Structure formats: C-alpha cells, structure tokens
C-alpha cells in the first residue's frame, strides 16, 4: 500500500509539473509572438535569455556537486553501519558465550552465589548495551533512508533543471531566427528603396518631400506601412500607392501621394 501511495503522489506531482510546463510553454509562445514586433527588443531579450541559461548551467553544476557529496555521505554511512553491525555481532557472540558459561556453572553448581550475581549483572549490562546498539542501528537505518529520499529529490531537481535548460536553449534559437528574419526584411526593404530611387529621375524624387528623410527602422514603417503595402508603377509614372485595406478615410486625406512626374 505504501508503494501505491508513493506512486500516486509521484503521479500527482508529475501531473502538476506537466501543467506548469504547459503554462510555461504557452507563455513562451506568447512571448515569441510579441518579439516579432521589434528587432531591437528581440536582441535585448536574447541577451537576457542567454544570461538565464548561464545561471541555469551554474545551478546544474551546483546540484551535480551536491549529488556527488550526498552519494559520498551515503557510502560513508553504509560503511559505518557495516562496522556497527560487526560490533553488534561481536557483542552478541560474547553474550552467547557468557550465557553458555552461566549455564555450565549452574549445572555444575561449582560457582558461588556471589559469582553468579556478578555474572547476572554483567549479562544485564550486555543486554543493555545490545539494546543500545540495536537502537543505534535502527537510527542509522532511518537516517540512511532519509538521505536516500533527499538524494532522489536532488536527482529530480537536476532533471527539472535540464528540462529548463533545454527550453531556454529552444527559446534562444527561436529568438535568433526572429532576429535573422528581421535583418533580412530590413535588407530587402533597403534594396527596394534603392531600386525605386534608381528607377526615378531626380525631379520625381524631389516631389516625394520628407519621405526620403524618414528612418527605415521606425518613422517610415509607422507612417506608410511595411514595404509590402506599396507598389511602384513604371519608370515614367512612379507613384507610391498604399494598400486600400490598410488606409482609412482620414489617412487618405492626410497622406502624401506623389503623382507622376
């Protein structure tokens, strides 16, 4: 029954841990979705996650050292218990020998009453010593059982730390992939703008006004949308036309839409 109860507790503990891991996974997915908003924010969080990964590695190393120390202590306890058992067997053998001698003296009726009393007192002392060592052995067994339980908990903690480390490594890989994608999109946008400038004469470019001074990483993206929302119509009739579904009526009135040159 005790083993089944332990298994049930272990099952409940693992179920709770699984729910926690599921919640952590959902939270990580939400964080990854938020990281797609800005390249600069993603790079900062990559550094934070790498710092957490180093901390997890340090904790894993500490837990491993503690596990080795616990194993050494358990080995020492086993040796001490073996020595206690050997001493107990020696005391028990001595007690048996004295009992045999006592019965021999009793059968032969050679010893005196004083000697018999002395032997009885010695036997009583040996019995007390035996009980003391039996209790000591029992305490050592209980202590060893407690150490084994602590060692199992440490092993579970090491497993949890390794799982956390794997999750952090996966998050770092995802964030690095997001950074790479943002850099590629930025390079593609720069190439499209350069091509647009090369395909239009300076007279047309002068009519674009402040668009040529906008920042690629912030202002241009916030005022005119992403590069996929604009189209270029020919070299002789270059117009920047925002997508209809991304511009409301107020924005149509306030937006600068260059006409043909």
Residues 154-198 have pLDDT tens digits of 899 999 999 999 999 999 999 999 999 999 999 999 999 999 988
Q: Which residues contact 231 (CB under 8 A, 6 or more apart)?
A: 241
Average pLDDT of every residue of the chain: 75
Distance CA 75, CA 78 (A): 5
In tens, the pLDDT along 48-78 reads 888 888 888 888 889 899 889 988 988 998 8
C-alpha to C-alpha distance for 166 and 52, rounded to whole angstroms: 12
Q: Which of 228, 149, 132 is nearest to 188 (CA)?
A: 228
Q: Where are the domains of the chain?
A: 36-193, 200-254
Which tokens in the block code for residue 136? 């000591």
What's the confidence (pLDDT) of residue 216? Answer: 42
Q: Is the pLDDT of residue 230 over 80?
A: no
Buried b (16+ CB within 10 A) or exposed e, 132-155: ebeeeeeebeeebeebeeebeebe
- Tokens linked to 257: 């839409």
3-state helix, strand, coil in the chain (%, to 5): 85, 0, 15
Report the pLDDT value the prediction gives residue 183, as an integer from 0 to 100.
95
Assign 42 a pLDDT band (cuts: 50, 70, 90): low
pLDDT surpasses 60 at 127 = yes
User: If you compute the radius of gyration of the chain from its CA atoms, what whole number of angstroms results?
Assistant: 41
Provide the pLDDT for residue 101.
81
CATH code that applies to domain 36-193: 1.10.287.1700
pLDDT at site 254: 40
């Amino acid at each position: 029954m005790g083993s089944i109860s332990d298994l049930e507790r272990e099952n409940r503990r693992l179920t709770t841990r699984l729910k926690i891991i599921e919640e952590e996974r959902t939270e990580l997915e939400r964080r990854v979705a938020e990281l797609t908003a800005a390249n600069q924010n993603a790079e900062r969080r990559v550094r934070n996650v790498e710092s957490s990964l180093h901390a997890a590695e340090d904790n894993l190393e500490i837990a491993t050292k503690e596990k080795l120390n616990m194993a050494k202590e358990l080995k020492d306890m086993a040796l001490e218990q073996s020595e206690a058992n050997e001493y107990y067997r020696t005391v028990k053998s001595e007690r048996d020998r004295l009992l045999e001698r006592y019965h021999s003296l009793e059968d032969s009726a050679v010893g005196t009453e004083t000697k018999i009393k002395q032997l009885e007192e010695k036997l009583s002392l040996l019995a007390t010593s035996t009980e003391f060592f039996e209790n000591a052995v029992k305490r050592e067994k209980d202590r060893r059982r407690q150490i084994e339980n602590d060692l199992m908990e440490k092993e579970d903690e090491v497993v949890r730390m390794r799982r956390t480390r794997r999750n952090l490594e996966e998050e770092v890989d995802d964030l690095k992939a997001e950074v790479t994608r943002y850099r590629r999109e930025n390079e593609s946008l720069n190439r499209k703008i350069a091509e647009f400038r090369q395909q239009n004469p300076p007279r047309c470019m002068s009519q674009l006004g402040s668009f040529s001074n906008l920042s690629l990483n912030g202002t241009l993206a916030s005022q005119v949308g992403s590069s996929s929302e604009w189209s270029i119509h020919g070299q002789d009739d270059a117009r920047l036309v925002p997508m209809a579904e991304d511009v409301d009526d107020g924005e149509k009135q306030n937006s600068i839409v260059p006409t043909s040159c």
